[in-house]
A and B are shown apart, each in its own frame.
Chain A
Amino acid sequence: MLMKERISRQQMMWLYANGLLGASLLILPQVLAASAKQDGWITSLICAIGGLLLVLLYITLALRFPGQTIVEYITRVLGRPIGLLALAFYLGYIAWLVMVMQREIVDFFSINYPETPIEFTAFCFALITMYIILGGLEAIARVNDLLFPIIVTGVLVLTLLAIPEYMYSYLKPLLPESIMPILGAIPTHISFPYGNAVVFLMIFPFIRNNKDLPYAAVSGSMMGSAVITMIVLFSTLTLGAATVARVVYPPHFAARTITILSFLAGLDGLVDVIWITSNVLRIAVFQYALVLAVSQLLGLSSYRYLVIPLVALMSVGSLNVYRSMGEQIEFNLTWTPLLSIVPYLLVPLLVLVVAMVRKVPRERKPPE
């Protein structure tokens, strides 16, 4: 399939950064506090380094096969049977991520608007996603250009305005039980959101100039990590680790708890706008990658044929991907870190190693 679309260095950087945000803005502090308590921000900094290692792996792989998506080279590297199996893991992972992300939005709405049917919320967001993806990756990147600064500014404004409300004693004691608790949350945090960025193996080939890719992805990853750490600190400093560990959406909860300058109350709306904007863009990128991957796999001439059916399918799937939020959180803390290692680490690593050992040519053989 022809991929005529190209995005710039800065667009790739912001897309990657936003690819790490989305729901991490809302539920990550809880995940970290559940294990690392008040030291969640340290875990988040350690995982930022892990995230950098992962992004280096993805960049190396993308530059080994410039201008091609993983679907195009995986069977060439691993052979058809193993390649397809690995691809099944990879695509299954992306599909699962898309469903979970959509469900997170739906769940959030159904907590705040219990009387609205979840099907209606899912339908609205499916329409938005379809519309964005039909515009193509360039359009997604341009929308991201417009909204990503707003997301980052929003987080900055929130965390800075709340400084007078912070209770610094909530960060003490530092490392009460040495370092085991902070290590406990690392597998979860690496897989979410840094491991999720494996989806960018479908997006990296679209960069206009391949030389810009390392800069774009690495700085994007660092931007994302910085925002995540800020949100973790914001939640812990306003609510305390014990509460953060017990609340589903700590930043939302924290924002509705504080009163800034003794009159500005109920900033949860700001948090909601930030994370929903970020999550919708993130879903669009992931969904686009999925649609593109499937259509490349099937050898279609354009990905557009698949947009409506696949988005609709994912939307219905999102309503059935788990039964209740408790189940999902339990699953995310126990099984997700283990299972997702296959698609986010083993598959790309295997492809890279085998490609280097077998000296697979960089370019596709011209059709005979």
Chain B
Amino acid sequence: MKHLPLMMKLIGLVALPLVTTGCWSSVEINQRAVIIAAALDKAETDGKIALSIQVANPNEVEKGGDHSVLLYSKIGYTIFEAGRYLQEQVSRKPFWGQTQLIIVGEERARDGICELLDFNDRDFEPNRRAFLLVARGTTGRQALQAGYGFGAIPATTLLGLVQRARDSGRVPITNLNEMLNALDAPGRSVTAPYLEFDPPSPARPEMVDQNQRVLLKGVAVFQHDKLVGYLLETESRGLSWAINKVRNTVVVVPGIDNPTDKIALRVVKAQAKIEPSIKESHPSFTIKVTVQAHVTEVMAHTLDVTKMQVLDTLNSYLATAIRNEISSAVTRAKALHADIFGFGTLFQSAYQTEWKKIAKNWDNVEFPKADVQIEVKSQIVHSGFLLKPRMQYH
């Protein structure tokens, strides 16, 4: 660049900052309406979607006032269309980049969720970090209106429920990425956590009572991508054990001398593995679960954890409890014809040729007929600060 005259260099220097000031399509942050949660419901008009978005109102969030979030709704044939026309009500530009929750109303979920998620993958703003929830017995819009808890933003409360669900261990959580990838796998059906009003509300109340809360109850079962049923608490944990989603949970087993006594075991580690095989020319699966637990609470007067025999019995009780939960989940999934465990995928990867023969009938014939064995190995590794039971004086 030595051949350029000084003047040209100066002009170049002055011109450079002009192109570094920002992007052509930039939208300043105070012109954004950050969508925290979106709800997708079936609209009254045929084939249309009702899109509701919950937007944070930054000026009010700090004050903790009643208007810290705003809820807008619009009906359209597609999400993007509804979102664009939503602009006629929202004075800022809706931004999908930080959406944490997508709540699908029960009715819409029955029609299938795959097509609802195309926009999420295709457009540059939304992403797969969000969680998809189903609003059982109500609409997504209503679920977004309730659920005030810690913090001023209902969606954040719901997100907290989802994120803390690992501590109760009863609701296996899958984010959109896992869910969408599972939908690509052969024969695979998926689940999503569902929300329910507490106390239950009438079908379509006009206004949501502020004292009503929503809670995470279990998982909604999709056959491929269409909602077909629900797994309740223990069934849903049965699924959790099998697909390796339990991090922390509590299992209550009966006391050793007296079955009405209760002993709470804190599960600290659980690992599961599913092994496919063929038995009498039909697919067969073995779910192998290994758990470690601590004795955390003993509602009995006689438990002596220093005796190996006592621990062995507790271990077998724990194993039985887990086996029953898994078995109830398997039974329910078979009844719903939804392979939410990913048995088909495992079978396909182990037995290519056999899978091709049964792939067509997987949902309706082969999966409900499949033989499922459950093996649970449990180990109690700790029993808290106490060793011996309280002395008995009578």
**Which positions in A face B, CB cutoff 8 Å?**
111-117, 120, 124, 134-135, 167, 170, 172-173, 176-177, 238-240, 242-243, 247, 253, 256-259, 265-266
Shortest distance from the beta carbon of B243 to any chain A beta carbon, whole Å: 11
A167 to B185, CA, bound (A): 14
Contact with B128, one of A111, A170, A242, A257 (Cβ below 8 angstroms): A257
A113 to B22, CA, bound (A): 12
Inside 8 A of B127's CB, which chain A residues have their CB? 256-257, 266
A170 to B25, CA, bound (A): 37
**Which positions in B face A, CB cutoff 8 Å?**
1, 19, 23-25, 97, 121, 124, 127-129, 177-178, 180-181, 184-185, 348-350, 352
Known: A257-B177, A265-B129. A120 touches B24 (CB 8 A): yes
Inside 8 A of B178's CB, which chain A residues have their CB? 167
A243 and B181: CB pair below 8 A? yes
Q: Could you list 22 A-B pairs, sorted by A, with CB under 8 Å?
A: A112-B124, A116-B23, A116-B25, A117-B24, A167-B181, A172-B349, A173-B352, A176-B352, A177-B352, A239-B177, A240-B181, A240-B185, A242-B181, A242-B184, A243-B180, A253-B121, A256-B127, A256-B128, A257-B127, A257-B129, A258-B129, A266-B129
Inside 8 A of A116's CB, which chain B residues have their CB? 23-25
Inside 8 A of B129's CB, which chain A residues have their CB? 256-259, 265-266
Known: A112-B124, A242-B185, A257-B177. A173 touches B349 (CB 8 A): yes
Question: What are the 6 closest A-B residue pairs judged by CB atoms, nearest first?
Answer: A242-B184, A173-B349, A116-B24, A113-B25, A240-B181, A115-B25
Counting residue pairs across A and B whose Cβ atoms lie within 8 Å, the total is 56
Contact with A113, one of B23, B97, B128 (Cβ below 8 angstroms): B23
Inside 8 A of B124's CB, which chain A residues have their CB? 111-112, 114
Shortest distance from the beta carbon of A182 to any chain B beta carbon, whole Å: 15
A176 to B178, CA, bound (A): 22
B349 and A114: CB pair below 8 A? no
Shortest distance from the beta carbon of A106 to any chain B beta carbon, whole Å: 13
Contact with B25, one of A114, A135, A256 (Cβ below 8 angstroms): A114
A247 to B120, CA, bound (A): 12
Shortest distance from the beta carbon of B2 to any chain A beta carbon, whole Å: 11
Inside 8 A of B185's CB, which chain A residues have their CB? 240, 242
Shortest distance from the beta carbon of A21 to any chain B beta carbon, whole Å: 23
Inside 8 A of A115's CB, which chain B residues have their CB? 24-25
Inside 8 A of B25's CB, which chain A residues have their CB? 113-116
Shortest distance from the beta carbon of B356 to any chain A beta carbon, whole Å: 11
Inside 8 A of B128's CB, which chain A residues have their CB? 256-257
Inside 8 A of B1's CB, which chain A residues have their CB? 134-135
A172 to B124, CA, bound (A): 29
A114 to B24, CA, bound (A): 10
With both beta carbons as reference points, the residue of chain B lying nearest to A238 in the complex is identified as: B177
B24 and A113: CB pair below 8 A? yes
Contact with A243, one of B19, B184, B348 (Cβ below 8 angstroms): B184
With both beta carbons as reference points, the residue of chain A lying nearest to B186 in the complex is identified as: A242
Shortest distance from the beta carbon of A334 to any chain B beta carbon, whole Å: 24
Inside 8 A of A167's CB, which chain B residues have their CB? 178, 181
With both beta carbons as reference points, the residue of chain A lying nearest to B351 in the complex is identified as: A173
Shortest distance from the beta carbon of B242 to any chain A beta carbon, whole Å: 14
Inside 8 A of B23's CB, which chain A residues have their CB? 113, 116
Most A CB within 10 A of own CB, among B97, B127, B349: B127
Shortest distance from the beta carbon of A109 to any chain B beta carbon, whole Å: 9
With both beta carbons as reference points, the residue of chain B lying nearest to A116 in the complex is identified as: B24
Given contacts A111-B124, A134-B1, A173-B352, 4 further A-B contacts (CB under 8 A): A113-B25, A173-B348, A176-B349, A266-B97
A243 to B180, CA, bound (A): 8
With both beta carbons as reference points, the residue of chain B lying nearest to A176 in the complex is identified as: B352
A134 to B349, CA, bound (A): 55
A239 and B352: CB pair below 8 A? no
Shortest distance from the beta carbon of B43 to any chain A beta carbon, whole Å: 27
Inside 8 A of A134's CB, which chain B residues have their CB? 1
A111 to B352, CA, bound (A): 39
A258 to B185, CA, bound (A): 20
Inside 8 A of B184's CB, which chain A residues have their CB? 240, 242-243
Inside 8 A of A257's CB, which chain B residues have their CB? 127-129, 177
A173 to B355, CA, bound (A): 13
A231 to B97, CA, bound (A): 24
Inside 8 A of A256's CB, which chain B residues have their CB? 127-129
A242 to B180, CA, bound (A): 10
Shortest distance from the beta carbon of B176 to any chain A beta carbon, whole Å: 8
With both beta carbons as reference points, the residue of chain B lying nearest to A240 in the complex is identified as: B181
With both beta carbons as reference points, the residue of chain B lying nearest to A242 in the complex is identified as: B184
Shortest distance from the beta carbon of A38 to any chain B beta carbon, whole Å: 10
